[in-house]
Amino acid sequence: MKSWNRPLLPLRGRRATKRPLNTLICIAVLVASGAPIGTHAADATYSRSDAERYIKASEAAWAESVATNDSSVVRRILADDAVWVLDGRVISKSQAVAEAAHAADHFLSDHLEYANVRFFGDVAVVQGSENWTQKSGKKGRFVWTDTWLRRNGQWQIVAAEDVSVSVNEH
């Protein structure tokens, strides 16, 4: 849930593309995955409250992992076919996991501010924000949208888009 050679962009910090691209990515992921749209298969029942707790806790863990080099969080929550757009850069799961191991080289902290979850059958769209501080003292936020898919009983992010904003750019 980045190029660590770019110290202004943290592992979790993502998102600088236009809203239409995010919409297209979500639609493409839904179509390609064969996810039931508008229906709920009998074997696809789950507790929305449990799913929401898991998703919010996972989003918070991803944010916190930026300052700890804990790539296991990214490995767990990103689907193998996930697409992540971070400030205009397209990143695969394998790239995200590799870069997560070096995020703390640049980040002192990253904390989830909020995460709003909306469910559409086996899909959850989560919009949120994080506050981060780099080791250089620079502060900023990530504003993001993640698309989670429940596949084979497991919730994972299949599409993510982040925009990083410096506190001074408000």
Going 129 to 161 to 117 to 79, the CA torsion angle's sign is negative
Burial tier of 18 (Cβ tally within 10 Å: 0-12, 13-18, 19+): exposed
Does 163 have pLDDT greater than 80?
yes
Query: Average pLDDT of the chain?
Result: 81
Q: Is residue 5 part of a domain?
A: no
Q: Is residue 140 part of a domain?
A: yes
Asked if residues 165 and 13 have their Cβ atoms less than 8 Å apart, the reply is no
pLDDT at 62 (0 to 100):
95
Q: Is residue 75 part of a domain?
A: yes
pLDDT band per the 50, 70, 90 thresholds, residue 105? confident
For residues 116-139, average pLDDT: 96
- We report the CATH number of the domain holding residue 92 as 3.10.450.50
For residues 59-66, average pLDDT: 94
Per-residue model confidence as pLDDT tens digits over 10-44:
445 444 334 445 544 544 444 454 544 443 443 45
pTM for this model (two decimals): 0.74
Does 99 have pLDDT greater than 90?
no
Number of domains present in the structure of the chain: 1
Owning domain of residue 139: 19-39+46-169
Q: Is residue 12 part of a domain?
A: no
pLDDT at 38 (0 to 100):
40
CA-to-CA distance for 104 and 102, rounded, in angstroms?
Answer: 6
For residues 59-82, average pLDDT: 94
